[in-house]
Structure 1
Amino acid sequence: MKHLVSIGELLIDFIPLEKGTKLKDVSGFTKYPGGAPANVAVAGAKSGIKSYFLGQVGKDAFGDFLVDSLKGYGVDCSYLKQSSLANTALAFVTLSDTGERDFIFYRDPSADQLYGPHQIPKAILKDCVLHFCSVSLSEYPIKDAHSEAIDLARKAGSFISFDPNLRLSLWPNHKAYKEVIHEFLSLADLVKVSSDELEFITGKKEESKAIQSLFVGNVQYVILTQGSLGSTFFSKAGLSFHMPGFKVDVKDTTGAGDAFIGAFLSEMIKKDLVFSEENVSNALRIANAKAALTTTQFGGMSAIPTESEFEALFND
């Protein structure tokens, strides 16, 4: 069976004690392990897939906490580095009354951004699914590390997944952000995009035209996620179908998209990446459910359900 390799940022999410409160008025925060690609690695491990994380944190207390957290969730951290050249990245999250988020990041540089191409392990990029996001594609060594990992994975015949996971507040120049997304998008086999990201990435208002414009370069599959409305799968060959979502009592949407793509990739790995309608439909159903369950708890990776938790809740 193939394994999952996720590359990018690993950081601390500080979640406020109150919802619907401006950041300056929040009385306190609780720290949670976070970072979209790290969340995906955890989702893979919790789904029973061998899962690795490639990246770097600071040689500090927050970095120690993150390493311990990932190991505790079953992620293989053999290639997770710690550096004394910069601190671990921090993100302060504000939550609306409905659990929607906004972020303030403390980085530039942080230790994750200084992770370079020379640190990429070649061996684990063979016969794997490599997943990455866009937050780490700014002009730091980690961007070159992504290029190196993607190139090695492609040459080794591995499958590549990309979730842009937009964080516009991190990119003052939105034109440059869009350009780098398109630069890397064409390198992936599968692209996952949310409905509120689609127009920014493609520049097209009409959904069908926007989706079709994503089939560039190596892209064979596109998944559009729509929150509680579910998700829709599209293939370059013309196959498309929708899987309804689940309505739950939302507390915090942090990590829901990561739980979705991590669960989806895990289910497809279990089916040896055979993208039949039956396999994809089952993977979408499970991914929708795990994403929904993730929103019922606070935090990102800590809220992603394990297989036993998922079975207990989903079949209740």
Structure 2
Amino acid sequence: MTYDVVTLGRISVDIYPNEISVGLEDVSSFGKYLGGSPANVAVAAARHGESAAVITRTGNDPFGRYLRRELVRYGVDDRFVEQVQGLQTPVTFCAIRPPEDFPLYFYGRFPTAPDLQLRPEEIDVEVVRETRILWSTVTGLCQEPSRSAHLAAHLVRPREQLRADQHTVLDLDYRPMFWESEESARVQIRELLQHVTIAIGNDKECAVAVGDGTPDEQADRLLAAGVHVAVVKLGREGVMAKTRDERVVSAPVPVRTINGLGAGDSFGGAFCHGINQGWPLKQVLDYANAAGAIVASRISCSDAMPTPGEVFALLREHGRAAPEGATR
């Protein structure tokens, strides 16, 4: 089977408080959700009508079974999700203190996690080679054997041999708690940048990848590394994308922020959809920006991913046109 989107790597159970602006020590009730950035991106892409699968690992425990069940419920193929004996499925807690304070607490990821035990020989070469978009993250490079598995996946689809409708995305999601240092992360990122066509990150993540500088300077360095599209998130100023021929900026879509943690994953799934639909880059960014804003206005991540109808409605509300010919 050929998929529209295949993601690699991190999966976990997200435990989010039902009470807003309360410290975790004072929260009395929580909600349980599928989490982990690559898994969330696959869910988001599926919500937009893309055929999606995630290649990852869980523990052999009830939480692992819960995650597979949730993937299926969201329309994501779980056939490449296997169990690792002796390791527990990770759980992530967050506190929700809008508008900008959403600390994360990772449990079950140290010294390792099941998804970091993905091995090169376990990559389905044919699936990875044929998918339209392969999505991976910097977190997946933080430890072996996951690092080698990610590299193996990228090596079976050389950048210069991709079809016109194929793309390989690296989410520059640097998380310092998973790395010895920024320099150790930079070494691994720069190796993988040789194999991807699209790189996406905020200013801090881009700085780890290619050094400090203005967003334009960082985008130019990503392009110099060989990517075809460099996407730099600008925070309250929106998001910018650069290719060798154009530079486009999408202004933020104003919403009341409840939980900003899932906005980037929602952006990613919507971005994949827009790219696969062949929309102009500006419209891809507008659509992805709106999708991210919708999730930021909700508590959960995976369960909050919007449908195309919701995204189009928000775009129209703010005077932005839906991409010409878009029906879903």
TM-score, normalised by the number of residues in structure 2: 0.87
Structure 1 partner of 2:156:
152
Q: CA deviation at 1:154?
A: 2.4
Structure 2 partner of 1:302:
303
Q: Distance in 2 between matches of 1:314 and 1:33?
A: 27
Q: CA deviation at 1:307?
A: 2.5
Deviations for 1:41-90, whole angstroms, at most 9, x for unmatched residues?
11111111111111111111111111111111111112111222311112
Q: Which amino acid aligns with 1:183?
A: E
Whether 1:81 aligns to 2:82 is yes
2:135 to 131, 135, 152: 131
Q: Which amino acid aligns with 1:135?
A: T
Q: Distance in 2 between matches of 1:206 and 1:230?
A: 15
Structure 2 partner of 1:141:
145
Structure 2 partner of 1:114:
117
Structure 1 partner of 2:282:
281
The answer (yes or no) to whether the contact 2:96–2:258 under 8 Å persists in 1 is no
Q: Distance in 2 between matches of 1:241 and 1:270?
A: 18
1:260 to 245, 264, 267: 267
4+ long deviations beyond 6 Å: none
Q: 1:228 to 1:303 in 2, by over 3 A?
A: farther
The answer (yes or no) to whether the contact 1:131–1:160 under 8 Å persists in 2 is yes
Question: Percent of aligned pairs with the same residue?
Answer: 26
Deviations for 1:216-241, whole angstroms, at most 9, x for unmatched residues?
44311101123453221100x24101
Q: CA deviation at 1:315?
A: 4.5
Q: CA deviation at 1:23?
A: 4.0
Q: Which amino acid aligns with 2:122?
A: Q
Q: How does 1:194-273 map to 2 (within 5 A)?
A: 194-235=202-243, 237-271=244-278
Q: Distance in 1 between matches of 2:56 and 2:292?
A: 24
Q: Distance in 2 between matches of 1:38 and 1:83?
A: 17
Q: CA deviation at 1:313?
A: 4.9
Q: CA deviation at 1:176?
A: 1.2
SS in 2 for 1:6: strand
1:178 to 186, 200, 203: 186
Q: Distance in 1 between matches of 2:315 and 2:303?
A: 18
Structure 1 partner of 2:200:
192
Deviations for 1:119-163, whole angstroms, at most 9, x for unmatched residues?
111121233210011112122211111111111132762421011
Q: CA deviation at 1:170?
A: 2.3
- Root mean square deviation, CA, Å: 2.1
Q: CA deviation at 1:8?
A: 0.6
Q: CA deviation at 1:109?
A: 1.8
Gaps of 5+ in 1: 272-277
Whether 1:66 aligns to 2:73 is no
The answer (yes or no) to whether the contact 1:193–1:224 under 8 Å persists in 2 is yes
Q: Distance in 2 between matches of 1:83 and 1:206?
A: 42
Count of matched residue pairs? 309
The answer (yes or no) to whether the contact 2:182–2:208 under 8 Å persists in 1 is no
Which region of structure 1 is more displaced relative to structure 2, 213-222 or 49-58? 213-222
Structure 2 partner of 1:104:
105
Q: CA deviation at 1:281?
A: 1.7
Deviations for 1:93-138, whole angstroms, at most 9, x for unmatched residues?
2233315322221213221111211111112123321001111212
Q: How does 1:27-66 map to 2 (within 5 A)?
A: 27-66=28-67
Q: Distance in 2 between matches of 1:217 and 1:204?
A: 15
